[in-house]
Copies of this chain bind each other. A is one copy, B any other.
Amino acid sequence: MASVLPPIENLTDRFRTLPGIGRKTAARLALAFVDMTEEEAKAFAEAVLEVKSGVGRCPVCNNLCEAGKLCGICSDDSRDKSVICVVEDVRAVMAMERVRDYNGLYHVLGGVLSPLDGIGPEQLKLAELLERIRDNDVKEVIIATNPTPDGETTALYIAKLLKPAGIKTSRLAYGIPVGGDLEYADEMTLMRAMEGRRSIL
Contacts and interface: CB of A to CB of B under 8 A. Distances in A.
A94 interface: yes
Interface in A84-116: 90-91, 94, 97, 100
Interface of A: 1-8, 10-11, 13-14, 17-21, 25, 27-34, 36, 38, 40-52, 54-55, 57, 64-66, 71-73, 76, 90-91, 94, 97, 100
Q: How many copies does the complex hold?
A: 2
A124 to B, nearest CB: 14
Nearest to A33: B51
A121 to B, nearest CB: 19
Given A44-B48, A48-B33, A49-B45, A5 B100 contact: no
Contact of A51 (B11, B25, B27, B54): B11
